[in-house]
Amino acid sequence: MGQLPSKPRGLPRVHFSTNEERPGAYRTDANDQHDGNLQTSPTIVVSNVEMSVSESRRSSIYSTLDLVPQLENYTSTLPHQRSRGRPSLEALRKTFDTTTGSVSSLVTEEGHEEEPSPQQKAPVRFGWVTGVMIRCMLNIWGVILFLRLSWIVSQAGILLTCLIILMSVTVTSVTALSISAIATNGRVTSGGAYFMISRSLGPEMGGPIGMVFSFANALACALNTIGFAEVVTDLMKEFGVVMVDSVNDLRIVGVITVTVLLVISLAGMEWESKAQYFFFAVLLVTFSNYFVGTFIPPGEEKQAVGVFGYRSDVILTNLKPDWRGAGNNFFQMFAIFFPSAIGILSGANISGDLKDPAVAIPKGTLMAILWTTISYLGIAITVGSCVLRDASGNMTDILMGNITDGCVGLGCKLGWNFTECIESHSCKYGLANNSSNQVLGQVSGLSYLITAGVFAASLSSALGFLVSAPKVFQCLCRDKIYPYIEFFAKGYGKNDEPLRAYLLCYLIAVAFILIGDLNIIAPLISNFFLCSYALINFSCFHASITNSPGWRPLFHYYSKWTALFGAVVSVVLMFLLTWWAAVITFTILLFLFGYINYNKPKVNWGSSVQAGTYNLALSYSASLSGVEDHVKNFRPQCLVLTGPPNQRPALVDFVGSFTKHISLMICGDIITEQDKQTRAADATDWLVKWLNKRKVRSFYTPFSAVSLRAGAQHLLQATGLGKLKPNTLVLGFKTNWRESSPEGIDDYINTIYDTFDSNNGLCILRMMDGLDIFDQFDGEVDNVPVKDNTQQAKTVFQNDQGKKTIDVYWIADDGGLTLLVPYLLTRRKRWHSSKVRVFIVGDEQNMEEGRAEMVALLKRFRLDFNDVIIMTDSEKYPQARNLNRFADSVDPFRLHDEQQEGVSVEELRQTAPWKISDKEFEVFKPKSARIVRLNEIIRRNSQHAALVLVSLPVPHTDCPRVLFMAWMDTLTCGLHCPTVLIRGNQQSVLTFYCQ
């Protein structure tokens, strides 16, 4: 036996530890130490090492062309892109497996991504604190907090005000959970809420909401700018400064303010972020000043305006509501308060400027909601505990002595007589008469800091919306869904700033500032945001109920039912708050939706609408024909050669475990002439009933053919309808191949070859005790009654697997089917607790890099397979006894032509054309040795596993059929658990992209 070929050179050096007690070490079996060549296996140390394209490309142990799994092969899984590093099945079948040569010379390079030049300055990227949490908090702390909160407390009371706050937080929290799930289901680029909705629900829903949401952000910028301008003009009046008149002064201050904010935005995200830091610091000082002020004993001047500090009688009085004014009720107060909660999308809207959106958006948004909720509740409770509803502000109203005759109100108990202003409704101070700005200033230690807080809150919100609107609109323009807006898609600078979109947003804001009155348009803003919340929640719900394998969010703390609840509540609130604004909002959305539905833009984002169409296609398959394939929606649609399904229950249960409610399963029953003699006329009905009774979601398709191969060929081509067509063939392992006729072996192997030639995936299941009681592939008569419908034989796949492992030997990069099947299994209840271990080929010198790269790849795929084991001894020569066992198993099928003198190979071929010549045996000897060695590794590590999946080698066209059969037998022998030989069709079925 010759030595195994060495690995290609040029791989990066690795540092490793030899500490055996560290977790992740790849240990060797004591039985393998007889050769004296084994050393202590190094511990795998995960490190964030990035490998170049040429360095990361390594061949599998099957051949030099067949590559090991690597991250770069999945960077081109977007639509209309081909894998740039993985060979096709045709190349694997037709290129001889040499032991020399470079893999890179045999693989066509396609779809290279442009890498930034080392001299080019990297764009600014923000973390979860600065990029999301602070930004969201600043947008939530808006003008409502300083101008309306105390008045809401006076109307609704402390208890109902807290209820209003908590109701608003419930809607925003549920939406934040949905945002977090969508944002972690793949790489999110710029575009924020629009990007998430459009990539989840498709362009029909994403386009309209992108347009409306961009416009709403621009209006919100104008609204907050006017709020700032009103406070400034009020201060100008106090100091007697008037430029023109009150209305024009507001317009002038507003235009100047939004112009300054535009300059800050145009200066880049760094300057905008620094401005937000300043505003955040001012607000923190403002809040500290307020809460400290609540503990300072008030003097007579403060008591005159209704500030008395923490008093039980003040708290008890302000707990209950006191509705004043026509139309003021609970829902009116809720409508006034709710716009303060619309800032939760501020961080998501700049997703393209975040370092890691999948981490920053969930963490930052939820933390922002937590802290702002605490602050709102704290201010509502404290201001209601310290301030009366009515006060005159007159120092002469203090009571002298204990005379309280005719005194009205709580002030009487506190030594003040505010009766006159209460009865005449002329009180100028107190919760019910002052703006929140004045009340908070009166309670706080330094009143002018509250004014600074108002400025910071309004300016930060205006700046946040001014930045968000162009970012969202730029992404919408780049998708080319609507005509005539592509002009605004252009980006500038290292951060791809949408300068043109900034100017458009500025002009819209200026236009509404010049109007000077947003009372009519303000309800539209809340409705636009509520509509966005409804669609975000519905996106999460819809993606969840489609059961798409592409829906794999890293954020698990969400529920499809809470998402549906958030969607329904948002729609209900739209009509409860302002019904006419809701009607206008939906009218605009329907118009924009109709345009896209009529124009049908050529985009394919792998949306959940496509995944939902797959489910509907089971009943309305014709509607699925117009949907393009997408890697996110790939499902292993299996044609299972079960024969009569009740005779191979293990094979049925195995496939049903990962296809039920997820993908198509067809039980193919190939009926030969001999089978027809014992097949009952109503056998099909009985077998369908058997499947239904077993609760297997599968179609049953009998097919008459002269052989297994002919039947499989026709079933692969003819079964299915439209997109409901098998892409993976599943069959049982031929355990009796040594005793079978040459024609039976040839038929079986040719079926495998035909599967590869038809570009389909393949799974071969082997059970220790076999799959059935007869050999389907030898065409023997089925002596077991097909109608035996009462007995449901239990198989291992119906048991709870507990915490057993699923071992995946991902030897060759087949596109990801080898990983997708065990992932789908773990989604089932019986396999949910099972831990998936991924074994890959590696070198001792490169263990850390190899494992770090594979862990990074699995995390990108969001598969939660973190247990990666490097097989560093896969190239070691196998044990002599195992090699001899393999040689003995093949010996009856060899010609031994070199031992027979005077007889040519051609003459021997005439009598046994299916046997292996000595030359063929020697040519494939190195590969046979690698197969034997891999089996030794599998038996050493996976004896106690619940299931073992091994990458199936792709046979070369010149490989003898019997030899390939011996390879498959060798790979799976000696295991007590079910073993699956699996191979995809070399096309990606996993992606880490969002679109």
Contact 411, 317 (CB under 8 A): no
- pLDDT (average), residues 833-860: 88
> What residues contact residue 948 under an 8 Å CB cut-off, 6+ apart?
806, 807, 809, 938, 942, 972, 975, 977, 978, 979, 980
Residue 12's pLDDT band, with cuts at 50, 70 and 90, is very low
For residue range 285-343, list pLDDT tens digits in order.
999 999 998 898 888 888 888 888 888 888 998 998 888 877 788 888 888 888 788 78
Q: How far is it, in rounded angstroms, from Cα 140 to Cα 376?
A: 10
pLDDT band of 726, cuts 50, 70, 90: very high
**672-716: pLDDT as tens digits:** 887 777 778 778 888 988 898 888 989 999 989 988 999 999 999
| Helix (H) or strand (E) run with residue 947 in it | strand 947-951
Judge whether residue 19 has pLDDT over 60.
no
Confidence of residue 516 (pLDDT cuts 50, 70, 90): low
920 pLDDT band, cuts 50/70/90, is confident
pLDDT confidence bin for 444, thresholds 50/70/90: confident
Q: What is the share, in percent, of the chain residues with pLDDT greater than 70? A: 83
Q: Which two tokens stand for residue 531?
A: 């509509």
Split at pLDDT 50, 70, 90, the class of 618 is low
What region, left, alpha or beta, does residue 4 occupy, with left being phi > 0 and alpha being psi -120 to 50 degrees? beta
DSSP state of 854: H
Q: Above 50 in pLDDT, residue 104?
A: no
pLDDT (average), residues 469-475: 86
Confidence (pLDDT) at 606: 66
Task: List the Cα angle 644/711/774 in 5-degree steps.
Answer: 35
In the 8-state DSSP scheme, what is residue 124?
P
Match 């023109």 to its residue by tokens: 244
Q: Over 80: is that where the pLDDT of 572 sits?
A: yes
The rounded distance, in Å, linking the Cα atoms of 65 and 369 is: 53
Predicted confidence (pLDDT) per residue in 218-263, tens digit: 888 888 888 888 888 888 887 787 888 878 888 899 899 999 988 8
Model confidence band, residue 630 (pLDDT cutoffs 50, 70, 90): confident
Q: Which helix (H) or strand (E) holds 980?
A: strand 979-983
Contact status, residue 704 vs residue 738, Cβ threshold 8 Å: no
At residue 547, the pLDDT reads 76
Q: What is the mean pLDDT of residues 339-365?
A: 81
Q: How confident is the model at residue 610 (pLDDT cuts 50, 70, 90)?
A: low
Asked whether the predicted pLDDT for residue 172 surpasses 50, the reply is: yes
Q: What is the pLDDT of residues 46-77, one digit of tens each?
A: 334 444 444 456 777 887 778 788 777 776 66
Whether pLDDT at 45 is above 80: no
Look at residue 53 in the predicted model and tell me its pLDDT. 44
837 falls in which pLDDT band (50, 70, 90)? very high
Whether 283 contacts 141, CB under 8 Å: yes
739: exposed, middle or buried (Cβ count in 10 Å: 0-12, 13-18, 19+): exposed
Whether the CB-CB separation of 408 and 419 falls below 8 Å is answered with yes
pLDDT band at 771 (very low <50, low <70, confident <90, very high): confident
591: tokens are 């118009």
Q: From residue 921, how far is each of 161, 877, 897, 928, 970 by CA, in Å?
A: 84, 17, 11, 9, 15
3-class DSSP assignment, residue 627: coil
Structural domains of the chain sorted by starting position, each given as residue range(s) with its CATH number in brackets: 128-391+427-599 (1.20.1740.10), 632-773 (3.40.50.620), 835-983 (no CATH)
More confident call, 640 vs 79? 640
Is a pLDDT exceeding 80 seen at residue 28?
no
